[in-house]
Chain A
């Protein structure tokens, strides 16, 4: 079945450091890929998405490129801020399957001043 594997955390960085959170997937169809973010005490909210190969999603300085050849969707940010501290979830939605959204286990990011 479809699955998402993302790097385990927690990840701790200093402010202005470069961030990469790895995400790889397996899917039988042609999935859409998402990154969701969960700030402390809140629900998940969409950070960015990509619906086809080579698409780049971007938002709030974060970027991720849909790489079909490596089945990856790594999240990057060039300079993190304390306010980026949150849990990040990679997810896929396989429209060729049951339309369920499959989540990775989440990566907790802490950014120190």
Chain B
């Protein structure tokens, strides 16, 4: 089983719908991250969390919210999805050396 698991792996939805992407990890890391990947833009940080009570905005947090339900769980929500949120989303954890461990990604399409 993967150390960082994302669900769903693929999702197609309509404009205005609420979407939640979930992430769980078995690595025991405190730090968790949500990134968005778009062609030609690399990865951009949406939100990050250092522990259950510490959540921080990244560079592109508008239109997104997160919840850190437990050390192992970090979910990303789109309250009202719009087409330019169509992207590949990655959850990641970070260890004390600074290395990131990524999930396999969640591909979201907003029509």
Contact = CB atoms under 8 A, between A and B. Distances in A.
A20 B82 CA distance: 39
Contact of A105 (B40, B101, B104): B40
B105 A93 contact: no
B41 interface: yes
A101 B100 contact: yes
Contact of A100 (B58, B102, B103, B104): B58
Contact of B42 (A43, A45, A93, A103): A103
Nearest to B45: A100
Given A43-B90, A44-B90, A106 B42 contact: yes
Interface string A42-70: 11111001010000000000000000000
Interface string A77-102: 00000000000010001010001110
A34 interface: yes
Nearest to A89: B42
Interface of A: 32, 34, 36, 42-46, 49, 51, 89, 93, 95, 99-101, 103-106
Interface of B: 4, 31, 33, 40-45, 48, 58, 90, 92, 94, 97-105
Given A43-B90, A44-B90, A89-B43, A101 B98 contact: yes
A43 B103 contact: yes
Nearest to A9: B40
Give me the 7 closest cross-chain CB pairs, A-B, nearest first: A43-B102, A105-B42, A93-B98, A103-B43, A103-B42, A44-B102, A43-B104
A99 B45 CA distance: 12
A32 B98 contact: yes
A49 B43 contact: no
A106 B44 CA distance: 12
Given A42-B104, A44-B92, A99-B31, 7 more contacts: A43-B4, A44-B43, A49-B97, A89-B42, A101-B100, A103-B42, A103-B43
B36 to A, nearest CB: 11
A93 B96 CA distance: 12
